[in-house]
Structure 1
């Protein structure tokens, strides 16, 4: 029996919306290779994205056609409600083949089977797992087809969440709260970074008393000391020392839906410079959240942050957030709307964002983040966790 986490009607609605967008773009087929989009449209869930796989979406076919490694076909049967006729497994000799075989040959066969080998075919050309070889192989197999880049076609459909999706994100936020507390509790002078990472990972999987957690798309990030000026470092054998700032960024995950959360702690008594920086970050974050509501643009949210920190002579040129939710490694972002200058995307109810307006300097950094949903009453942070500089 399929273990899909949404009713069939939810997947049917998503597929129909995708077909409508395809019609607007004049596409005869869409090949979906982003594992998050595969999950969104069918529920497919497996650690199989390290080999080529995907869905072929056709305007006149109710179900997408799953194309993947033969040993993963049972995974499709276990996690989707696709009919057997919608599964096209390819044999294992296509995987990293020493012969002249490639999984895109199987994709080309499906496109030819349904008579679109000379049609306009959309590809997710900037998806992480769609390679240059995949593109050239499809071209050589289907020389009469016209291939077009529609990387974000499904991603933009995903940007507004249903109530069921939001419930999973709220559950993920409960996991994030537990994991953040576990990480903060573990950071002490003399403790190696990997022990803090272990405590965080354990809490992410333990979840809550009511439900467990899934693996996050991004591992816990844990730079400390003078490395906190670089936000995307993981852990090491280094032990925490008195005088260390420590950044913790993590995400609870529930049925592949994330709720990222970041906080900063300090080993010992923080110097005035770091405390003042933390206060500025908190004030700027709250200014951004206060303005985020339906009808406001993404760039207006970032402007509220920028104008707040400018009062203290501080400037940050990076974006301060992005749309996110459903995800697979290496990212939980949707790659659509960003909270930054020039992004005129208008916020709508049920959009979800991770806003992370950290400040990173050469010798230290301070990081704070919230995941929020846009509601009729404004931004609703999903996690309930103090916004302050912690100490240990």
Structure 2
């Protein structure tokens, strides 16, 4: 089932260690200390976007106390590699299980996340025996930095939409020697996983997602046909009215946005942290879901790799390619984990029409950044689903 995997294939792949120059860390701190903060206004809090008091406090911590070297060492615990696929660099972690019958599992993050979302699940997934679970639940994990994100570096060619990313992920699994594998994704990673459900249908053991975005069974239907469907449409309308400004900008003018976010770490933090608060299960307090260091490590990955612009460009490329939804029915066994604060949870009837749904679970807590927020629930559900299909 697992196939063979190596660390090099025809001389293409090479080990990758994260080594941010000290000068880059010094530059980050200097920019943070020189931030021009907006004049305080009467109404504080998050009503107009990211809370300026919270952001200023976090950026002061980023400049004076946060340790990138600690985060760097944490990430470098796992074997990292880079390769060139379709003309662009791709970075990935490849963590082999000690269990010989382990199933290969591709993990795919989204925006504004990174491979760091998965850092607390890599051990339990690859070595369940060491974490008090059954060895039969083991995986060989491949955790891809999506092209244009993180340590893959900025994409330089046009046309890198989410379907093209899925093709690159499939090619990576081929180069690693995995004839059969499973895939898990959230956000853009979920969309890429669903594309793989069509592109790699003969190779996929199963497909597990924690964001469920599928077209309605009858696109021409003007109204929902059940209370669940109506509730979903109401949620989507509310999100469109109050929470999708970022989407309109990144889908239409990502380069205009990128100038400021690539130049100002405070600007980058203000843009990204708004989503971590809005999409996590934090009841309005983002520090209920994440520590300051966790938030800053994810931000630092975007900052040091200069990838906020290319990550935002994915929205425009995908809109131009019309690949944001998979409209062909997915026959691969599919599992959905519904974390309660996830903004996009399509009704079950739609998912059943779009996918070969064999697993549907309601999580007790968590949101959009499932593995990051609730690693134990995430691992448990991934194991439960793949136990059905491995």
With structure 1 as the length reference, what TM-score do the two structures score?
Answer: 0.29
Q: Which has the higher helix share?
A: 2
Q: Which has the higher strand share?
A: 1
Higher relative contact order (CA 8 A, sep 6+): 2
Larger radius of gyration: 1
